[in-house]
Amino acid sequence: MSRPRGSAGQGTRAAVGDKREAILRSAIKVFAGKGYFNSKVADIAGEAGIADGTVYLYFKSKEEILHSIFDRAMGEFIGEGRREIEALASPTEKLRRIAELHLQRLGADRDLAIVFQIELRGSTKFMQEFSAAGFAEYLELIRKTIEDGQEVGLFRQDVKAIVAAKILYGALDEMVTNWILSKKDYPLPPMADEVLKVFFGGVSSK
């Protein structure tokens, strides 16, 4: 029986994707446990169960791995956020859903949360690069939603949308950091309601 045209190529791409994903997942675990600067490519390879050289077939350096973790996670955050809010009419409900998704995703993956909250902020260089990339797009999603609320009279006109977006992101960000550092075991997603009570109390027009 002949093989369907293109199936070999698709299988190869799938294998490459699986291997790359395995390396990224292993890197998240290693970075969260040992810290980015204390981790070596050999540690990541060991966690993934592959040879050190195999890692370099997919990533040029440990720094590129960290970038890829951020890029992939932000891409998923933004993509899921856009899909989720597309069916919602109210800017208030859109912001609520964005906040819920933010805390749900990081609350479901403590290692990723540690990498995001701590390891990605270990140098000014990383922060500058990230702010210019996916982070800016994520803030834009929040800013645009706030502006939509201002246009229909839900939110105050005298509030700068980009400042409000940064405030909302900052509050959610702080909830995640507190959750990581806390010795108490509690669910993170419900904190979205607490943040939004304060946020809406400040930006609501009524």
List, for residues 7-45, the tens digit of each pLDDT value.
555 555 545 568 999 999 999 999 999 999 999 999 999
Q: Distance between CA atoms of 179 and 182, rounded to whole angstroms? A: 5
Q: What is the rounded average pLDDT for all residues in the chain? A: 88
Against a cut of 0.85, is the pTM above it?
A: no
Q: Give the pLDDT confidence of 103-150 residue by residue, as tens digits.
A: 999 999 999 999 988 888 876 777 776 656 678 889 999 999 999 999
Number of domains into which the chain is organized: 2
In terms of domains, do 42 and 107 share one?
no
In this structure, what CATH number is given to the domain that contains residue 130? 1.10.357.10
In terms of domains, do 71 and 143 share one?
yes
Of 69, 78, 72, the closest CA to residue 138 belongs to: 78
Contact (Cβ atoms closer than 8 angstroms) between residue 161 and residue 110: no
Residue 91's domain spans which residues? 62-203
For the chain, what is the radius of gyration of the CA atoms? Answer: 20
Six token digits for residue 63: 């720094």
In terms of domains, do 22 and 113 share one?
no
Q: Distance between CA atoms of 104 and 74, rounded to whole angstroms? A: 14
In terms of domains, do 19 and 52 share one?
yes
Q: Would you say residue 177 has pLDDT above 80?
A: yes
